Structure 1
Amino acid sequence: MKILILGGIKSGKSAFALKLASQFSEPRIFLATAQAFDEEMAKKIERHRRERGHAWHTIEAPIELPEALKEISSGGVVLIDCLTVWLGNLFYHQKDVDFYVEALVKNIESFSFPLVIVSNEVGLAPVPADKETRKFAETLGLLNQKIARLCNHTYFMIAGKALIAK
Structure 2
Amino acid sequence: MKSQIILCSGGARSGKSEFAERLALSTEGRKAYVATGQAFDEEMVNRIKKHQERRGDIWRNFEVPLYLAKEWQNISQSADVILIDCLTMFTTNHMMAHGSIQGQQDANDLEEAVLSELESLLSLIASSDGKTVIFVTNEIGLGIVPDNKLARYFRDIAGRVNRTVATVANKLYLTISGVTIELKSQEVHING
* Alignment RMSD: 1.5
Task: Tell me which amino acid in the other structure corresponds to 2:23.
Answer: L
Q: Which residue in the other structure is 1:10 paired with?
A: 13
2:75 to 61, 72, 75: 72
Q: Is 1:151 aligned with 2:154?
A: no
How many pairs are equivalent? 166
Q: Is 1:103 aligned with 2:106?
A: no
- Residue 94 of structure 1, CA deviation: 1.3
The answer (yes or no) to whether the contact 2:8–2:173 under 8 Å persists in 1 is yes
Rounded to whole Å, the distance in 2 between the matches of 1:154 and 1:137 is 20
Specify the structure having the higher radius of gyration (Cα): 2
Q: Which residue in the other structure is 1:25 paired with?
A: 28
Task: Tell me which amino acid in the other structure corresponds to 2:179.
Answer: K
Question: TM-score scaled by structure 2?
Answer: 0.81
Q: Is 1:125 aligned with 2:143?
A: yes
The answer (yes or no) to whether the contact 2:69–2:124 under 8 Å persists in 1 is no
Rounded to whole Å, the distance in 1 between the matches of 2:141 and 2:11 is 10
Paired residues for 1:33-48 under 5 Å: 33-48=36-51
Rounded to whole Å, the distance in 1 between the matches of 2:116 and 2:29 is 28
- Residue 97 of structure 1, CA deviation: 4.3
Structure 2 vs 1, CA of residues 138 and 44 (structure 1 numbering), >3 Å: closer, same or farther? same
The answer (yes or no) to whether the contact 2:32–2:61 under 8 Å persists in 1 is yes
Name the SS of the counterpart of 1:125 in structure 2: coil
The answer (yes or no) to whether the contact 1:66–1:100 under 8 Å persists in 2 is no
Q: Deviations over 1:82-129 (max 9, x none)?
A: 000111111112164422321222322431310000001111010111
Rounded to whole Å, the distance in 1 between the matches of 2:19 and 2:151 is 27
The gaps in structure 1 that reach 5 residues or longer are none
Determine what percentage of the aligned residue pairs are the same residue.
36
- Residue 68 of structure 1, CA deviation: 1.9
Question: TM-score scaled by structure 1?
Answer: 0.93
